[in-house]
Structure 1
Amino acid sequence: MARYDSAGNGRRLIGWATPDSGPNRAIAGLQNIRNRARDAGRNEWAAKGARSRWATNLVGTGILARPKIADTALRAKLIALWDDWSEECDADGVLDLYGLQALVARNWIEAGEVFVRLRPRRLEDGLAAPLQLQVLEAEMVPLLDTDSAPGLAPGHSIRSGIEFDAIGRRAAYWFHRNHPGDATTTSIGTADLACVPADQVLHIYEPERPGQLRGVSEFAAILPKLRGIGNYDDAVLHRQEIANLFTFFVTRPPEGATPTPDPLSGGLVETGPDGVPIAPLEPGTGQELAPGEDVKFSSPPDAGTNYGDYMRNQHQYVAAGSGIPYELLTGDLRDVSDRALRVILLEFRRHCQQRQWHILIPQLCRKIRRAWAKSAWLAGRLTQAEFRHALQVEWAPQGWDYLHPVQDVDARIKEVRAGLKTRSAAILEKGDDPWAVEAEMAADNARADALGLKLESDPRANGNCMHEDVSPSARSSSIEKGVRISSATRTYDQ
């Protein structure tokens, strides 16, 4: 009968334990994983570096919201209101909105999940919109399972600290009132928990199986290896410390023989606290030994010729397990060509974009934007029509730097001219606002005209209407000389 070899129970696979756990039983011991991941983030450079690299590439300086409406006045109003609120949105009063985004990304990668609580405020608090955000660690929601608890509605149940209604929808989250790692008690009784409606909580995590309720640390698969690498490296370090304790041994004639001066110092033999003779060693010493005496030097161990290769291979495994390119994690660019590095970074950027658009933007950014717009509308900062327009935004993560500036810019220009991409899309990819860029162009042109500046002009030097006879080098030269941006109607080349 035909079957998969991996389904058999032969000699090769007989010791392979494969429990048929569901998506939530499979993450039993989740708190143990979190504790070890946080310890690795504090004490293991590879874990700390991976966490930092992920947060830097996922968020950078911030994932921005760009209104898509054409009404210039309303657009300016929405941007100003959003920017004012972004500076004061942190319930702890420490970070702005984009700092909170980075904090969320770091904790999501390290602990596997993080919570953001929406905290409505009073009008008299004087905020641009009566709403603030409170970032809470994964430990704040206990891994509690129960079908009965004080205040639990009929037909509701709690699984992994999340309350579900009778048809399986998330109804609430049960939070510790204080962080269990800081509180004096660690009880998880329902009397010690606060029930927060689900529409006031953002749960940021990446489910790896359908039905998975809680997130698992990005480092779960590499924690044992990290521990082993650290122990091995410490052992080598201590071995080298022992090797630095360089010593030698002087053998003398049997007892009863005539005493002789110390062969190295020339004086009497020195002794240590235990009365054992010590022969000091001084730089540049050259001394003949007395008859019958001999010197034997110790042979301390070294780090081993394969130490560097072994550590490099191990950290390649760690990098692969954490999703970070080895070259980016360690800075080791040995034997990596320019072309190979480009392929490596492009693949990593694709992974970052997947997580930006599948996790951070839908689970965090969009929900924060909707809550902000709703609170501003209820507070009278926006009308109902403006509220609907406030939700019409394009999200723009920070753009990637060019790997090859001349080639990359030239390729982007050709895409725009060929109609494969709009100029707005090209600007958004760099994390900039097309409307703001065009406004700056117009302001620059107006200021140049007002000052009577005589700038070299090329009416075809504006995005879509660039012609083939204008070479990249000629365009670069013109830009360096201060070309005035044309305001003529743009048309695609045929």
Structure 2
Amino acid sequence: MSQSWTEMPKVPRKTASLGERDAGFHGTTPYTAADSTIDTLAGYQPENRAVDSEILPGRDKVTARARDLVRNNGWATGAIAKEVDSVIGANFRPLLKPDWRALGLSAEWAREFKEQVEALWRVYADDPRHFADTTRSQSVPQMFATAYRSYLIEGEALALVNWRRTRPTKTTMRLVDTDLLSNPMDMADGERLRGGVEITRDGISRAYHFRQGHRNASYAQSADAMRWKRVAREGRYGRPQVLHFFDKQRDGQTRGISRLAPIVEKLKMEDHYSRVELQAAVINAVLAAFIKSPMGPEVIDEFFGEEGDGSGFLNYQAARSDFYKDRKGLSLGGARVQTLYPNDEIGMVNTARPAAQFADFESAVLRHIASGLGISYEQLASDWSKTNYSSARAAMIEIWRGFTARRTSFAHGFCQPFFMAWLEEMVIDGHLKLPQGAPDFYAFWPAYARSKWIGPGKGFVDPVKEAQAAAMRVSLSLSTLEEEAAELTGTDYAENMAQIQAEIAAMPENALHPMQESFAKLLGPAVYQQDTPED
């Protein structure tokens, strides 16, 4: 008799013994990660909470610890400095790319508009008088670097877009300490006000409340520390007034958390371990040798017996002291020979410090820290002794991908809104003229201000190979000269060409500029074979 297709064969299953269940070899849920009976997970019972309930209660403590580590821990300080230098650098600036197709204008207009806007931006952003800074202490690229540093350490970058009528350009930026963003009168977080941020029903950050003085500032008046000012997120026509950037990891998140949070404990433990090893090495270096007395507990007991007054011990110590006082020893062939009190011995301190496993242990910890920061161990430790070209190149590509993503995110979330506010002033004040029949500026504001932000280039591991690779990408239409210039050297291709044209014009007669040589030479002899010119 054939078996019906609806009848499923029964698979015999082995029943686990009590010992096997206790050992954790068989789970009680489909997902082992959800099994509470497994020994290794029995005490691991985290809770699911709303994201702000996870971040806001402990955010101040995390921020304080992260700041302390950056102040006092060399690894943390170096990691933060390296990322700021790699992502923002010294001249972080926009490369304007107005969307002329969306605007219904010509490519020629877009090119002229780009040149005008970038020229005005350079004058404004790099002004050594620092009129762009409300406090007149930094240039615009420097403020961007400070804001990014705050984002790394404190988890968010915060600034106000001000309007100062007495400045040559009225749009200014004021960086704000994230500690000042808080609920009025330090009230508890609620559904519509959390961490100093007002939230609408749709989850939009509508306004921000800023404490007018730091609560722990020794110079601040108590009245300022307990006064708050409400600032709307946007002003008239959507002009940005508050710039607030952080990594949003879950829906409903209102404030950011330090990028160092996952590795604070590792950094502190590594710092403590290094201090202990250093202290031990210093003590060993200072106390290299000592003199051992032959007196043991039995001898001392005889000196201090029930009827003894200890005079014998005191006399013995006085005799040893007199012996070593001003003792110069003997000289034998120019070498000094030290004489000891009878029965005394020289003892040497064991100088095996740091511990033999210290370097390997520190490397393992630093690899964990580097992974948490999103950089390579070689970058964090500045240790390239065990790295060849291939591994260095692979590490650079991997790390640079993360740097590029963070640069793009920070530029769009923090820098671009400020650039749009500045561009609005340039248009409404008449510094920039829109063509006849151009679309309304406010309706197409993002299209007029569309930009790609340029920071430092990723540099070269092997300049010759990477220059040849860049030339091949351009020749195969996989990239452009503009993109290669921005990625490899952090420069603007249009500015490079203008400078090269000036250099060619200044070259002596019958002298060729290197740019005038065939571009294909960069591809190497395997791709391009130059013909020998005939006489």
TM-score range, shorter chain: 0.7 to 0.9
TM-score by length of 1: 0.80
Equivalent of residue 480 in structure 2, options 400, 422, 434:
422
Amino acid of the structure 2 residue aligned with 1:405: P
Taking the aligned partners of 1:207 and 1:186, their CA distance within structure 2 comes to 35
Q: Shift of residue 444 of structure 1? A: 2.8
Taking the aligned partners of 2:91 and 2:113, their CA distance within structure 1 comes to 23
Q: Shift of residue 191 of structure 1? A: 6.2
- Please name the residue that 1:483 is paired with: none
- Please name the residue that 1:17 is paired with: 45
- Please name the residue that 2:200 is paired with: 165
- Please name the residue that 2:14 is paired with: none
Q: Deviations over 1:424-459 (max 9, x none)?
A: 3323333322322222233333334xx534438997
Q: Give yes or no for contact 2:468–2:523 (8 Å, CA) kept in 1.
A: no
Equivalent of residue 160 in structure 2, options 117, 130, 133:
117
Equivalence map 1:33-72=2 (5 Å):
33-68=62-97, 70-71=108-109
Q: Secondary structure at the match of 2:479?
A: coil
Q: Deviations over 1:294-353 (max 9, x none)?
A: 315154564222222222222222222222211111112232222111111211110101
Q: Shift of residue 205 of structure 1? A: 1.1
1:374 is aligned to 2:409: no
Q: Shift of residue 210 of structure 1? A: 2.4
- Please name the residue that 2:343 is paired with: 293
Unaligned runs of 5+ in 1: 149-155, 476-494
- State the structure with more CA Rg: 2
Equivalent of residue 84 in structure 1, options 114, 119, 123:
123
Equivalent of residue 4 in structure 1, options 22, 31, 35:
31
RMSD: 3.7
Change in CA separation of 1:409 and 1:192 when aligned onto 2, cut-off 3 Å: same
1:97 is aligned to 2:140: yes
Q: Secondary structure at the match of 2:150?
A: helix
Change in CA separation of 1:474 and 1:195 when aligned onto 2, cut-off 3 Å: farther
Q: Secondary structure at the match of 1:24?
A: helix
Taking the aligned partners of 1:458 and 1:35, their CA distance within structure 2 comes to 53
Change in CA separation of 1:331 and 1:137 when aligned onto 2, cut-off 3 Å: same
Equivalent of residue 445 in structure 1, options 486, 500, 504:
504
- Please name the residue that 2:386 is paired with: 335
Q: Secondary structure at the match of 1:175?
A: strand
Q: Shift of residue 281 of structure 1? A: 8.4
- Please name the residue that 2:415 is paired with: 365
Taking the aligned partners of 1:227 and 1:456, their CA distance within structure 2 comes to 55
Q: Give yes or no for contact 2:92–2:453 (8 Å, CA) kept in 1.
A: yes
Taking the aligned partners of 1:354 and 1:336, their CA distance within structure 2 comes to 25
Taking the aligned partners of 2:519 and 2:64, their CA distance within structure 1 comes to 55
Taking the aligned partners of 1:310 and 1:467, their CA distance within structure 2 comes to 45
Amino acid of the structure 1 residue aligned with 2:154: A
Q: Give yes or no for contact 2:162–2:173 (8 Å, CA) kept in 1.
A: yes
Taking the aligned partners of 1:285 and 1:134, their CA distance within structure 2 comes to 70
Amino acid of the structure 2 residue aligned with 1:372: W
- Please name the residue that 1:383 is paired with: 433
- Please name the residue that 2:490 is paired with: 431
TM-score by length of 2: 0.75
Q: Give yes or no for contact 2:426–2:432 (8 Å, CA) kept in 1.
A: yes
- Please name the residue that 2:257 is paired with: 216
Amino acid of the structure 1 residue aligned with 2:475: R
Change in CA separation of 1:419 and 1:80 when aligned onto 2, cut-off 3 Å: closer
Q: Give yes or no for contact 2:213–2:224 (8 Å, CA) kept in 1.
A: no
Taking the aligned partners of 1:228 and 1:42, their CA distance within structure 2 comes to 16
Q: Give yes or no for contact 2:94–2:454 (8 Å, CA) kept in 1.
A: yes
1:238 is aligned to 2:238: no
Task: Identify which range, 434-443 or 248-257, moves more after superposition.
Answer: 248-257
Q: Give yes or no for contact 1:37–1:217 (8 Å, CA) kept in 2.
A: yes
Taking the aligned partners of 1:330 and 1:147, their CA distance within structure 2 comes to 41
1:413 is aligned to 2:489: no
Task: Identify which range, 97-106 or 428-437, moves more after superposition.
Answer: 428-437
Q: Secondary structure at the match of 1:12?
A: helix
Q: Shift of residue 189 of structure 1? A: 11
Unaligned runs of 5+ in 2: 1-27, 99-107, 235-240, 304-310
- Please name the residue that 1:480 is paired with: none
Taking the aligned partners of 1:241 and 1:164, their CA distance within structure 2 comes to 56
Q: Deviations over 1:455-483 (max 9, x none)?
A: 389977247x98987967979xxxxxxxx
Taking the aligned partners of 1:402 and 1:471, their CA distance within structure 2 comes to 22
Taking the aligned partners of 2:188 and 2:430, their CA distance within structure 1 comes to 42
Q: Give yes or no for contact 2:211–2:225 (8 Å, CA) kept in 1.
A: no
Q: Shift of residue 107 of structure 1? A: 1.0
Change in CA separation of 1:183 and 1:161 when aligned onto 2, cut-off 3 Å: farther
Taking the aligned partners of 2:408 and 2:263, their CA distance within structure 1 comes to 26
Q: Deviations over 1:135-183 (max 9, x none)?
A: 11211102666689xxxxxxx9311110123443221110111233426
Q: Give yes or no for contact 1:121–1:131 (8 Å, CA) kept in 2.
A: yes
- Please name the residue that 2:292 is paired with: 249
Q: Secondary structure at the match of 2:491?
A: coil
Q: Deviations over 1:413-433 (max 9, x none)?
A: 111112222233323333322
Change in CA separation of 1:469 and 1:166 when aligned onto 2, cut-off 3 Å: closer
Change in CA separation of 1:260 and 1:19 when aligned onto 2, cut-off 3 Å: closer
Change in CA separation of 1:9 and 1:116 when aligned onto 2, cut-off 3 Å: same
Taking the aligned partners of 1:457 and 1:370, their CA distance within structure 2 comes to 39
Q: Deviations over 1:179-226 (max 9, x none)?
A: 334266798999611101112111121122222111111111111122
